[in-house]
Amino acid sequence: MRPTAQREGAPPLSETIPEISTSVWKHNHILDLDDFTREEIELIFVITDGMKEILSREIKRAPTLRGKTVVTIFFEPSTRTRASFELAARALTADVLNITASTSSIVKGESLLDTLRTIQALGADVLVMRHSQSGAPYLAARQVNMSVVNAGDGAHAHPSQALLDMYTMRSRLGHLKGRKVVIIGDILHSRVARSNIWGLSAMGAEVVLCGPPTLLPLYMNEDRARGQLPRVTVESNADKAVENADAVMALRLQLERQEKGLLPAVREYVRYYQITQERLARAKPGALVMHPGPVNEGIEVSPEVSHGANSVIEEQVTNGVAVRMALLYLLAGGKKH
Ligand code: CP
The phi, psi pair for 27, rounded to 5°, reads -100, 135
Cβ of residue 292 lying under 6 Å from some atom of ligand 1: yes
Per CATH, the homologous superfamily of domain 20-157+318-332 is Aspartate/ornithine carbamoyltransferase (3.40.50.1370)
What are the C-alpha distances in Å from 125 to residues 30, 121, 143? 14, 10, 14
The whole-number pLDDT of residue 6 equals 36
Phi (first) and psi of residue 39, to 5 degrees: -65, -40
Q: How far is the CA of 244 from the centre of ligand 1 (A)?
A: 28
CA 237 remoteness from chain centre:
26
Average pLDDT on 214-232 reads 64
159-312 CATH, one of 2.60.40.10, 3.30.110.30, 3.40.50.1370, 3.40.50.10190: 3.40.50.1370
Cα(327)–Cα(316) distance, integer angstroms: 16
Report CA dihedral (71, 76, 77, 82) to the nearest 10 degrees. Answer: -20
**Pocket probe mutation, ligand 1, options 72, 74, 78, max atoms within 8 Å of Cβ:** 78
> What is the residue extent of each domain of the chain?
20-157+318-332, 159-312
Contact (Cβ atoms closer than 8 angstroms) between residue 251 and residue 190: yes
Residues 182-202 have pLDDT tens digits of 999 999 889 999 999 999 999
* Average of per-residue pLDDT values in the chain: 89
Q: In the prediction, which pLDDT does 2 show?
A: 39
Contact yes or no for 130/76 (Cβ under 8 A): yes
Digit-coded pLDDT (tens) for 275-334: 999 999 999 999 999 999 999 999 999 999 999 999 999 999 999 999 999 999 999 985
State how far the Cα of 325 lies from the Cα of 21, in Å rounded to an integer: 17
Residue 152: is it exposed, middle or buried by C-beta count within 10 angstroms (0-12/13-18/19+)? buried
Mutate to test the pocket of ligand 1, among 72, 81, 87 (most ligand atoms within 8 A of CB): 81
* Local structure of 148: helix, strand or coil: strand
Cis peptide before 264 (omega within 30 of 0): no
Distance CA(250)–CA(237), nearest Å, equals 14
Indicate whether 244 pLDDT > 60: yes
Q: Evaluate: CB of 76 within 6 angstroms of ligand 1.
A: no
pLDDT of 120: 96
Q: 12 pLDDT band (50/70/90 cuts)?
A: low
Query: To test ligand 1's pocket by mutation, which of 85, 161, 166, 254 has the most ligand atoms within 8 angstroms of CB?
Result: 161
CA 170, CA 180: separation in Å to the nearest integer?
12
Q: Above 90 in pLDDT, residue 130?
A: yes
Does the predicted TM-score (pTM) go above 0.85? yes
Q: Kindly report, residue by residue over 58-78, the tens digit of the pLDDT.
A: 999 999 999 999 999 999 999
The torsion angles phi and psi of 78, rounded to 5 degrees, stand at: -160, 145
Give the other-Cβ count within 10 Å of 231's Cβ: 19
Task: Summarize pLDDT for 204-221 with one digit per residue, the tens.
Answer: 999 999 999 888 876 555
Longest CA pairwise span in the chain (Å): 60
Q: CA-CA distance, 325 to 221, in Å (whole number)?
A: 36
